[in-house]
Chains A and B, each alone.
Chain A
Amino acid sequence: MKARTSGQFSIRTILISSFLLLMIFPIIVITLVTYHKENAIFQDQVSRFLLQTVQQTNRSLDANLSEMDRLTWPILYREPLDFLVKPGDSSYEIVKAAAQFKQEMFHQYFRGRINEVSSVYFVTPERILLSTENAFQTFDQVIPANYRYITDHLEQDPLSIHWFSETYAILPHREAYTTGIHPSVLAARKIVDSSRVELQGYLIIQLNNLFLEDVLQNVQIGKTGSLLLLDQEHELLFGQQSPYLSNERIRQALGRLSASGAGTEVIDGKWIVAHVASPKSGWIMAAVVPLQELLEPNRLLLRNLLLIAGLGAAVSIFVSLSLATNISRPVVHLSQLMLKASYGNLDVRHTNESYREISILQRNFNNMMERIQELLAEVEKEQREKQQASMRALQMQIHPHFLYNILDTIYWMSKKYKAEQISKLVTSLGKFFRLSLHAGKERIPLEQEFEHVQSYLELQSVRYRDKATYRVVLDERARRTPMVPLLLQPLVENAFEHGITQSPPADKLGEISIAAVRLGHKVSIEVRDNGKGMSGQALRELLHSLRDTEKVEHIGLRNVQQRLLLAFGAMSALRIESKEGAGTTVAFDIPAGGEEA
């Protein structure tokens, strides 16, 4: 018994869609926005931190170079140099000079940094080599090209210490053992006698790998990043082990790095290089880190956000289904009940408890169904009574032409035989029937109803000539007031039947008065007799019988009551007052108004 209209969605579908939209959309949007924003911020910050790390490390290295430079300054001020030898000195004197040179270099000048110094060489203008190495060495063992390269640089800038890569070592190195210590960069300085401005010689300090490693080895560049040190010709002086160094693109990029200043650049969108050039040595320090690694925390964040979003979506779907089902169930149930009611099943009732608003709907639905059932019962009853009234009216109908012709014959015979009383009686009877026959109208003017009653009274007055009189008073303002026809006649008839005829007072004349008075928006109508009246008990029973439709007594009065209520509502309910021995008054009100009748 489903009623689905194409193109319309169920409340459950709409609720689920809404909930899902409200829950999942923000999750997705927040996830994506957070990721992209975080990505940008992260990359920027990481680049800056990377550059700061490189700059800081470079400052440390420069401080190291400066310290090494300062260690050579006392040699410049020392005059004369005790270890100098003269050409022609014997081997022993040269060995002694070398021993003294070593003693001074290692114990005096470089003692604090001795673990980073492989050897110190001093080459005199006469090309006598003094070395700190245990092995006795002579200038013949020097590599001429490297020596020339170094001295050329020193001559170009004689006041500064110069730094060179191990490629320019002046003596060949042979690895006698497997060791982690090996020659690294060189520092060279021209030593001039300041008082005579004469060349004393060239001081060349061969440093080992610890010199750079002490500063650079423990610098952590991410997880797999590398810290590199390049010389002036972009050749590698120091490089933390990294697979990225074998990458040709990175090597090319490193070869293009500026020999001054600092900066960062991204290679092929895969690697980021932060670099800074040292003004002291001309070396370039660079840190190479794969972007993927730098953004790894962000990727992890994205993964987790996606995981959260996925779980959130699953939870949202479940929650949406649950909420939508819970919210829509009473509404759906109510709609199904309504559907049943629309098919005529008015006994359905909503019994489940639900949310407050839905409960109100449910209660109102139940009330409405009960009210509809009551109304239907009332309508049914009214129809039944209407049919009964119609039947009674039909039973009372007499063929008008036959009746009028007979009355007309009686009238003319009474005239012929001078029976005025009869002719008057026949005239009233005729009027009475005529009005009765017009009683099929729903409304008639009050004056017509009064005319009908007056005809009745005239007929009855003939009958009760010596027992009763009557008085009819109709307010001029109430003449046109619409009135249900044939209402007053049963009341007047009751007044005769129960007030006058059944127990006529012995000492007084029965009197019946009918009055209609307009009082504002209503017309008050009253039928009064001065008959025997009713006891209080009888009056209560009468009033009760008017409300009880099953009783067979007082059908006429109840009929009047019901017709009044149907026509004019509760305002027209009959008011009955009676006092035993003093008579009975039956009154009611109807709405004033004369145009509609």
Chain B
Amino acid sequence: MPKIRWSSYSAVALLLVWGIGCIYILGFSAGDKPTSAQAESPKTIKLLIRTGYESEAMRQAIPPFEQETGIRVEMIELGRDEYFTTVATQLFAGSDDFDLVFVPSTYVAQFGLGKVLLPLDPFMRDPQYTDEKIFDQADFAATYSYNRNVYALPTDISTHFLYYRSDLIPVPPQTWDEVKQLAERFTKAHRADSPTKWGLGFTGLAPEELPKIFDTLLWSFGGDLLNGDNEVFLDSSRSLDAGRYLEGLVRDKVVPPDVLSWGFSDVRDALMNGDIAMAAPNWNAAYDSIRNSDSRYKDVIKVAMIPGVRGPDGTIRRASFQHGWALSINAKSPHPKEAWRFISYITGKRGGFIYARAGGTPARKSILSDPLLQNIRPEFALTLESMKIARNEPAVPFYPLMIDIQNDALTQILTLHTPPDLALREAGKQLRGAAIHYTATRQPER
């Protein structure tokens, strides 16, 4: 046999390498095969949220969470008009299209009763998911429970301020009567030389805004909706006083006649445009939006504590509405653990700080009182002050019905269709019926 030279071996080896190389290279020619990394897509949780400044702030606070955890958060935004209907429909239909839902605190009782939300206590108590020291539940301005179970943790706290043009009104009014007097002075229909068209503005939108506006008036005048025992006070004399005051604003034309179509943004824009001299009761969230706008009046628009009613002893009784927008976990969520991670982040101190910088108003006292943040968000100090006199709406399972009853009465008052006494008495009657009906079935927790 002839001796085989190294070059022959090399040739065979080269051919083999070439052949294997061909297979390897052609393996890449299939082009768009997903790699293992691509195939394993990150877990995505979906957040159902209402369009508004909350969603704007949330959008900015999400990326750090995604980077830290690798969990993707997809926001499903819905318009404000159909939001409540959609949330209720989807939750009670058992939809698993979203993991997290942005709910107003006033709906927690209804949703808790319906077991459409997951209680958060198991997550908060489990050290595997929550470090209690870091989480610091006591720091929350409010948590929202039903039947001793926490169902929602607030990302936002909302309360009412008095907004006024400091260039026109150097000292903010302290009582509602003073508000009305100033409103007449800065309404063109009363004073042709008024620099503003209307003296006062507020949102009269149904179904959510108008009752809340009225609640602040109602409580300031000493009235109420229900007490803890579901006793109805909507038709009490002090409640009727509040109704009369509201009717007087329309009747005396110090508020726009189409106030029923004014929403949150309409009031804010009217202030920024110089159409109104005051807005009250008006949401605290508008202030940051105004400060960051390019309005020519942004520096002269100030906020003050909500006015009240002077008592016989000269003290002023103030009361401000407060509610929270909170995050809850859909009972049908496919990813409850990941959903909780996001809740603990966004309602936590770090997430809340980011959220606050993005325009939100976190419901943590430590954040609201943070001097650095107060420098950026000067209204936080007032928010904390306001929270001291702020009240929640009653957390009743028949909340939507209560709102409908209030709306109907308030619409009658604002359209001057029915005298406030009649309208509120009828509303009180209806509310009492609803309370009796639901009290017979279950005792709600306040």
Contacts and interface: CB of A to CB of B under 8 A. Distances in A.
A304 B26 contact: yes
A134 B264 CA distance: 11
A343 to B, nearest CB: 27
Given A115-B86, A179-B55, A297 B263 contact: no
Contact of A92 (B15, B56, B261, B417): B417
B43 to A, nearest CB: 18
Contact of B81 (A119, A180, A330): A119
A106 B25 contact: no
A326 interface: yes
B80 interface: yes
Interface string A93-116: 101100100000011000110110
Interface stretch (B5-13, B151-159, B327-335): B5-13
A304 B28 contact: yes
B405 to A, nearest CB: 12
Nearest to A223: B32
A159 interface: no
B21 A311 contact: yes
Interface stretch (B375-383, B408-416, B427-435): B408-416
Nearest to B257: A91
A135 interface: yes
B418 A136 contact: no
B86 A304 contact: no
B386 to A, nearest CB: 23
Interface stretch (A316-324, A483-491, A500-508): A316-324
A176 B263 contact: yes
A115 B85 CA distance: 9
B18 A91 contact: no
Contacts of B252: none
B20 to A, nearest CB: 11
Residue of B3, B18, B29 with most chain A CB atoms under a 10 A cut-off: B29
Interface string B189-209: 000000000000000011111
B2 A353 contact: yes
A118 interface: yes
Interface residues of B, number: 60
Interface stretch (B71-79, B116-124, B301-309): B71-79
A312 B11 CA distance: 12
B56 A177 contact: yes
Given A178-B56, A355-B2, A318 B11 contact: yes
Interface string A17-30: 00000000000000
A91 B417 contact: yes
Interface string A117-143: 111000000000000111111000000
B25 A297 contact: no
Contacts of B262: 135
B18 A315 contact: yes
Contacts of B131: none
Contacts of B78: 115, 181
Chain B interface mostly: helix
Nearest to B7: A322
Interface residues of A, number: 53
Contacts of B17: 315
Interface in B6-59: 7-8, 10-11, 14-15, 17-18, 21-22, 25-26, 28-32, 51-53, 55-56, 59
B237 interface: no
A144 to B, nearest CB: 19
B258 interface: yes
A326 B8 CA distance: 8
Given A111-B89, A181-B78, A311-B21, A325 B261 contact: no
Chain A interface mostly: helix
Nearest to A135: B261
A260 B1 CA distance: 78
A181 B18 contact: no
Contacts of B206: 95, 99, 134
Nearest to A319: B11
Contacts of A90: 415, 417
A319 B7 CA distance: 8
Given A96-B408, A300-B28, A176 B418 contact: no
B290 interface: no
A106 B51 contact: no
Given A90-B415, A304-B25, A118 B79 contact: yes
Contacts of A177: 51-53, 55-56, 265
Contacts of B68: none
A355 B4 CA distance: 10
Given A180-B77, A354-B2, A355-B2, A115 B51 contact: no
Contacts of B139: none
Contacts of A181: 51, 77-79
A329 to B, nearest CB: 9
B81 A92 contact: no
A132 B18 contact: no
Interface string A310-349: 0110010011001101100010000000000000000000
B231 interface: no
Contact of A308 (B22, B209, B258, B266): B22
A297 B31 contact: yes
B412 A92 contact: yes
B100 to A, nearest CB: 15
Given A177-B56, A300-B29, A355-B2, 15 more contacts: A92-B415, A99-B411, A111-B89, A112-B89, A118-B82, A176-B265, A177-B265, A297-B31, A312-B22, A315-B14, A318-B11, A318-B14, A319-B14, A319-B15, A353-B1
12 contacts: A92-B417, A107-B85, A115-B76, A135-B266, A176-B269, A177-B53, A177-B56, A178-B59, A308-B25, A308-B26, A322-B7, A330-B2
Interface of B: 1-3, 5, 7-8, 10-11, 14-15, 17-18, 21-22, 25-26, 28-32, 51-53, 55-56, 59, 75-82, 85-86, 89-90, 205-209, 258, 260-266, 269, 407-408, 411-412, 415, 417-418
